[in-house]
Amino acid sequence: MLGEGIVKGMLETAKNFAGSFVSEDRLTTVEYPEQRIPTAENARVFPFLIYDGPDWHAGLRCVACQICEKECPPKCIYIEKSKDKKPDFVGKPQIYPARFDIDISVCMSCQICVEVCPFEAIKMDTEFELATGDRFGGLLLDCRELAKSNEYYHSIHPTEAAEVDARLAEEKKAAEAKAKAAAAAAAQKAAADAAAKAAAPKPGAPAAGGS
Protein backbone atom coordinates (compact mmCIF):
# COMPACT_ATOMS: atom_id res chain seq x y z
CA MET A 1 0.00 0.00 0.00
CA LEU A 2 1.35 3.39 -0.91
CA GLY A 3 2.20 5.40 2.18
CA GLU A 4 2.78 2.37 4.38
CA GLY A 5 6.49 3.11 4.66
CA ILE A 6 5.83 6.68 5.68
CA VAL A 7 3.34 5.60 8.35
CA LYS A 8 5.82 3.07 9.68
CA GLY A 9 8.48 5.75 9.89
CA MET A 10 6.12 8.15 11.63
CA LEU A 11 5.29 5.46 14.19
CA GLU A 12 9.02 5.09 14.87
CA THR A 13 9.36 8.82 15.40
CA ALA A 14 6.33 8.84 17.68
CA LYS A 15 7.81 5.98 19.69
CA ASN A 16 10.99 7.96 20.18
CA PHE A 17 9.10 11.12 21.05
CA ALA A 18 6.94 9.39 23.66
CA GLY A 19 9.86 7.31 24.84
CA SER A 20 11.86 10.39 25.69
CA PHE A 21 9.44 11.09 28.55
CA VAL A 22 10.09 7.77 30.24
CA SER A 23 13.51 6.60 29.17
CA GLU A 24 16.64 8.35 30.43
CA ASP A 25 18.50 6.78 27.53
CA ARG A 26 16.69 8.79 24.92
CA LEU A 27 17.39 12.12 26.57
CA THR A 28 20.86 12.80 25.37
CA THR A 29 21.03 16.58 25.69
CA VAL A 30 22.91 18.12 28.59
CA GLU A 31 22.37 21.77 29.39
CA TYR A 32 25.89 23.09 29.46
CA PRO A 33 27.25 25.04 31.41
CA GLU A 34 24.81 24.41 34.26
CA GLN A 35 25.02 20.66 33.74
CA ARG A 36 28.30 19.01 32.91
CA ILE A 37 29.30 15.57 31.77
CA PRO A 38 32.31 14.37 33.73
CA THR A 39 35.37 14.31 31.48
CA ALA A 40 36.83 10.95 30.58
CA GLU A 41 39.91 10.03 32.53
CA ASN A 42 42.02 9.73 29.41
CA ALA A 43 40.83 13.04 27.97
CA ARG A 44 43.52 15.34 26.67
CA VAL A 45 43.42 19.00 25.81
CA PHE A 46 46.72 20.86 26.15
CA PRO A 47 50.01 19.92 27.80
CA PHE A 48 51.25 21.16 31.18
CA LEU A 49 54.46 20.77 33.17
CA ILE A 50 54.56 18.84 36.43
CA TYR A 51 56.33 19.94 39.58
CA ASP A 52 56.83 18.05 42.85
CA GLY A 53 56.65 19.68 46.24
CA PRO A 54 55.43 23.14 47.18
CA ASP A 55 57.67 25.34 45.04
CA TRP A 56 56.87 25.20 41.35
CA HIS A 57 60.26 26.38 40.22
CA ALA A 58 62.33 24.16 42.48
CA GLY A 59 60.20 21.10 41.82
CA LEU A 60 59.90 21.31 38.05
CA ARG A 61 60.71 17.93 36.56
CA CYS A 62 61.64 19.29 33.15
CA VAL A 63 65.37 19.28 32.43
CA ALA A 64 65.15 21.23 29.16
CA CYS A 65 66.36 18.33 27.02
CA GLN A 66 64.35 19.78 24.11
CA ILE A 67 63.17 16.39 22.83
CA CYS A 68 59.53 17.51 22.89
CA GLU A 69 60.44 20.70 21.05
CA LYS A 70 62.05 18.64 18.31
CA GLU A 71 59.28 16.03 18.07
CA CYS A 72 56.29 18.40 18.26
CA PRO A 73 54.53 18.11 14.88
CA PRO A 74 53.28 21.71 14.61
CA LYS A 75 56.34 23.13 16.44
CA CYS A 76 54.44 24.94 19.16
CA ILE A 77 56.99 24.43 21.97
CA TYR A 78 59.85 26.82 22.59
CA ILE A 79 62.54 26.05 25.19
CA GLU A 80 65.56 27.98 26.37
CA LYS A 81 68.05 26.17 28.58
CA SER A 82 69.22 27.70 31.83
CA LYS A 83 72.84 28.65 32.42
CA ASP A 84 73.00 27.25 35.96
CA LYS A 85 71.78 23.96 37.40
CA LYS A 86 69.33 22.92 40.07
CA PRO A 87 68.87 19.52 41.75
CA ASP A 88 66.25 17.21 40.21
CA PHE A 89 64.07 14.68 42.03
CA VAL A 90 66.95 12.30 42.77
CA GLY A 91 69.19 15.18 43.81
CA LYS A 92 71.39 15.24 40.74
CA PRO A 93 72.13 18.78 39.50
CA GLN A 94 70.35 19.33 36.19
CA ILE A 95 69.71 22.12 33.75
CA TYR A 96 66.19 23.51 33.95
CA PRO A 97 64.17 25.46 31.38
CA ALA A 98 64.82 29.19 31.67
CA ARG A 99 61.99 29.65 29.25
CA PHE A 100 59.31 27.13 28.29
CA ASP A 101 56.51 28.44 26.08
CA ILE A 102 53.66 26.53 24.50
CA ASP A 103 51.55 28.28 21.95
CA ILE A 104 48.17 26.65 22.44
CA SER A 105 46.75 28.40 19.39
CA VAL A 106 49.09 26.18 17.36
CA CYS A 107 49.09 23.07 19.58
CA MET A 108 46.87 20.30 18.23
CA SER A 109 46.63 18.19 21.39
CA CYS A 110 48.29 15.16 19.85
CA GLN A 111 50.12 14.02 22.98
CA ILE A 112 53.37 13.23 21.19
CA CYS A 113 55.35 15.45 23.61
CA VAL A 114 54.04 13.33 26.49
CA GLU A 115 55.01 10.10 24.78
CA VAL A 116 58.55 11.12 23.93
CA CYS A 117 59.37 12.76 27.30
CA PRO A 118 61.84 10.51 29.17
CA PHE A 119 61.40 12.41 32.47
CA GLU A 120 57.59 12.24 32.93
CA ALA A 121 57.69 16.02 33.04
CA ILE A 122 54.96 16.95 30.59
CA LYS A 123 51.40 15.62 30.73
CA MET A 124 48.03 16.43 29.19
CA ASP A 125 45.53 18.65 30.95
CA THR A 126 41.75 18.24 30.78
CA GLU A 127 40.91 21.93 31.16
CA PHE A 128 39.11 23.04 28.02
CA GLU A 129 37.52 26.39 28.82
CA LEU A 130 40.45 28.48 27.69
CA ALA A 131 38.78 31.18 25.61
CA THR A 132 40.49 34.52 25.87
CA GLY A 133 40.10 37.94 24.31
CA ASP A 134 43.79 38.27 23.59
CA ARG A 135 44.58 36.13 20.61
CA PHE A 136 48.37 36.36 20.75
CA GLY A 137 49.56 36.87 24.31
CA GLY A 138 46.66 35.07 25.94
CA LEU A 139 47.23 31.83 24.12
CA LEU A 140 51.01 31.77 24.55
CA LEU A 141 51.50 30.02 27.89
CA ASP A 142 54.80 30.44 29.71
CA CYS A 143 56.53 28.26 32.26
CA ARG A 144 54.63 29.70 35.26
CA GLU A 145 51.23 29.18 33.64
CA LEU A 146 52.15 25.69 32.48
CA ALA A 147 53.52 24.47 35.81
CA LYS A 148 51.00 22.43 37.78
CA SER A 149 51.51 20.29 40.83
CA ASN A 150 51.70 16.53 40.93
CA GLU A 151 48.60 16.56 43.15
CA TYR A 152 46.67 18.24 40.37
CA TYR A 153 47.89 15.53 37.99
CA HIS A 154 46.65 12.90 40.44
CA SER A 155 43.26 14.60 40.56
CA ILE A 156 42.73 14.52 36.79
CA HIS A 157 44.40 11.25 35.71
CA PRO A 158 44.52 9.13 38.90
CA THR A 159 45.40 5.76 37.32
CA GLU A 160 48.07 7.10 35.03
CA ALA A 161 49.58 9.31 37.76
CA ALA A 162 49.85 6.39 40.16
CA GLU A 163 51.73 4.39 37.53
CA VAL A 164 54.06 7.30 36.86
CA ASP A 165 54.73 7.80 40.57
CA ALA A 166 55.53 4.13 41.02
CA ARG A 167 57.90 4.26 38.07
CA LEU A 168 59.63 7.37 39.40
CA ALA A 169 59.91 5.93 42.90
CA GLU A 170 61.59 2.88 41.45
CA GLU A 171 63.94 5.04 39.46
CA LYS A 172 64.75 7.08 42.54
CA LYS A 173 65.38 3.93 44.55
CA ALA A 174 67.64 2.60 41.83
CA ALA A 175 69.45 5.92 41.67
CA GLU A 176 69.84 6.01 45.46
CA ALA A 177 71.04 2.43 45.53
CA LYS A 178 73.46 3.24 42.77
CA ALA A 179 74.65 6.36 44.60
CA LYS A 180 75.02 4.36 47.81
CA ALA A 181 76.91 1.64 45.98
CA ALA A 182 79.07 4.24 44.31
CA ALA A 183 79.71 5.95 47.64
CA ALA A 184 80.47 2.62 49.28
CA ALA A 185 82.77 1.70 46.44
CA ALA A 186 84.46 5.07 46.66
CA ALA A 187 84.86 4.71 50.44
CA GLN A 188 86.20 1.22 50.00
CA LYS A 189 88.58 2.39 47.33
CA ALA A 190 89.70 5.28 49.48
CA ALA A 191 90.21 2.94 52.40
CA ALA A 192 92.08 0.50 50.21
CA ASP A 193 94.19 3.32 48.86
CA ALA A 194 94.91 4.55 52.35
CA ALA A 195 95.73 1.01 53.45
CA ALA A 196 97.98 0.55 50.46
CA LYS A 197 99.60 3.85 51.18
CA ALA A 198 100.09 2.90 54.77
CA ALA A 199 101.44 -0.53 53.88
CA ALA A 200 103.87 0.58 51.24
CA PRO A 201 107.05 2.07 52.61
CA LYS A 202 107.40 5.48 51.10
CA PRO A 203 110.79 6.54 50.01
CA GLY A 204 111.95 9.66 51.66
CA ALA A 205 109.18 9.60 54.19
CA PRO A 206 109.70 8.77 57.80
CA ALA A 207 108.76 5.21 58.46
CA ALA A 208 105.46 5.08 60.21
CA GLY A 209 104.53 2.83 63.07
CA GLY A 210 106.55 0.47 65.00
CA SER A 211 109.62 -0.30 62.91
Among 90, 95, 110, 168, binds another protein (CB under 8 A): 110
Q: Which is nearer to another protein, 12 or 55 (CB)?
A: 12
For residue 170, report the phi and psi dihedrals to the nearest 5 degrees: -65, -45
- Residue 6 Cβ vs another protein, minimum distance, rounded to whole Å: 6
Site pattern 60..99 for another protein (x: CB under 8 A)? -------x---xxx-xx-x---------------------
Near another protein in 118-137, by CB under 8 A: 124, 135-136
**138-177 positions binding another protein, by CB under 8 A:** 139-140
- Of 22, 40, 131, 196, the one binding another protein (CB under 8 A) is 40
CA separation for the pair 104, 129 (Å, rounded): 12
Dihedral sign, CA of 19, 24, 27, 28? negative
Least distance between another protein and beta carbon 133 (Å): 15
The binder of another protein chosen from 23, 57, 87, 115 (CB under 8 A): 115
Minimum Å gap between C-beta 188 and another protein is 38
CB of 118 to another protein, least distance (A): 9
Rounded CA gap, 180 and 192, in Å? 18
Q: CA-CA distance, 93 to 82, in Å (whole number)?
A: 12
Residues near another protein (CB under 8 A) are 2-6, 8-9, 11-13, 16, 26, 28, 40-44, 67, 71-73, 75-76, 78, 101, 103, 105-106, 108-112, 115-116, 124, 135-136, 139-140
